[in-house]
A = this chain, B = another copy of it.
Amino acid sequence: MKRAQRACIITQILTENPNKDYPLAYFADRFGCAKSSVSEDLQIVRQAVEDAGLGYVETTAGAKGGVRYVPYISKEESSEELKRFGNMLAQPDRSIGSGFIYTTDLMSDPVFVTLAARVFARHFAATEADAVVTVETKGIGVAMMTARFLNLPLVVVRREAKVSDGSTISINFFSGSADRIQKMSLSKRAIKPGCRAIIIDDFMRGGGSVKGMQDMLAEFDARTVGVGVVIVAGKDEQKKIGSYFPIFHYDDGGDVCKVSVNPELII
């Protein structure tokens, strides 16, 4: 088999399995060639993946040395798309009243979801997290794709316990949007003690449900190592939680509904 052929196969397998480690021996066995040849193939793969602008190839050293594909998106690649989606979100017919906007279509649009997840995967790549956590329903798509890019399990907190969850832990939290106490539940089997979790949600106003998830994680002796929110409404100082990473800001004060992209993410 020729070098170009091997390099393409490696590119395909790595891309389809983000953040999964492949020892060089895996490809050497598959191609029936020397590890040194795979090493040389990887030079081509590494450069090509960098040129494509959607991720990079990381090499791990040592006896078990191997490679992994890390999804990534540069400001240059994401800028235009994020601005385009920002404009879509700002369309007047998305306004539902009471400070809500219709985002259901975008939150389940694979193109939007994949872009948002790629942004989160880049931002939280160094957290050494063990899991991605979200609360049903609208954020599940983005959270699932983020989990796939980071090669982590996803944990979905329920609003209401289901019979198929087995025994659960529940907590109450104050939802500013709903202006009342709400409940969330999680199966006792869902999280192991000591787990490091990234929380992903689609929308945040007061921060009540993110705070609820943090409290829930604390019940499991787990730790929040990052919070990513697709759309944050209102001002920072009115939030119940400290640090979080938004993709869009939504300002519904005044006459016009204004959506802006997190300035860290655009050029």
With the chains together, A13 CA to B110 CA distance in Å? 16
* A29 on interface, CB distance cutoff 8 Å: no
With the chains together, A5 CA to B190 CA distance in Å? 43
A52 and B165 within 8 A (CB): no
Other A-B contacts than A4-B8, A108-B144, A110-B153, 9 sampled, CB-CB below 8 A, are A5-B44, A8-B44, A8-B48, A11-B12, A12-B49, A12-B52, A102-B164, A103-B164, A144-B144
7 sampled A-B residue pairs with Cβ under 8 A = A5-B51, A8-B44, A12-B15, A12-B54, A13-B52, A100-B164, A144-B145
Range for the number of chain A residues in contact with chain B: 35 or more
Which B residue sits closest to A134, measured CB to CB? B108
Residue in A104, A152, A153 whose Cβ sees the most chain B Cβ within 10 Å: A104
Q: Which A124-174 residues have C-beta < 8 A from chain B? A: 136-138, 140-141, 144-145, 147-148, 151-156, 158, 163-166
Contact with B along A60-85 (1 / 0, CB 8 A): 00000000000000000000000000
With the chains together, A7 CA to B102 CA distance in Å? 41
How far in angstroms is the closest Cβ of chain B from A135? 10
In the bound complex, residues from chain B placing their C-beta under 8 Å from that of A11 are 8, 11-12, 15, 48
B51 and A148 within 8 A (CB): no
Task: Answer whether A105 and B189 are a contact pair too, CB < 8 Å, given A8-B11, A15-B16, A110-B152.
Answer: yes
* A96 on interface, CB distance cutoff 8 Å: yes
* A219 on interface, CB distance cutoff 8 Å: no
* A45 on interface, CB distance cutoff 8 Å: yes
A16 and B54 within 8 A (CB): yes
A54 and B96 within 8 A (CB): no
B166 and A102 within 8 A (CB): yes
* A3 on interface, CB distance cutoff 8 Å: yes
The one of B4, B96, B141, B144 that contacts A44, using a Cβ cutoff of 8 Å: B4
B110 and A154 within 8 A (CB): yes
How far in angstroms is the closest Cβ of chain B from A251? 17
B153 and A108 within 8 A (CB): yes
With the chains together, A145 CA to B16 CA distance in Å? 12
In the bound complex, residues from chain B placing their C-beta under 8 Å from that of A238 are none
How far in angstroms is the closest Cβ of chain B from A189? 7
* A109 on interface, CB distance cutoff 8 Å: yes
How far in angstroms is the closest Cβ of chain B from A234? 15
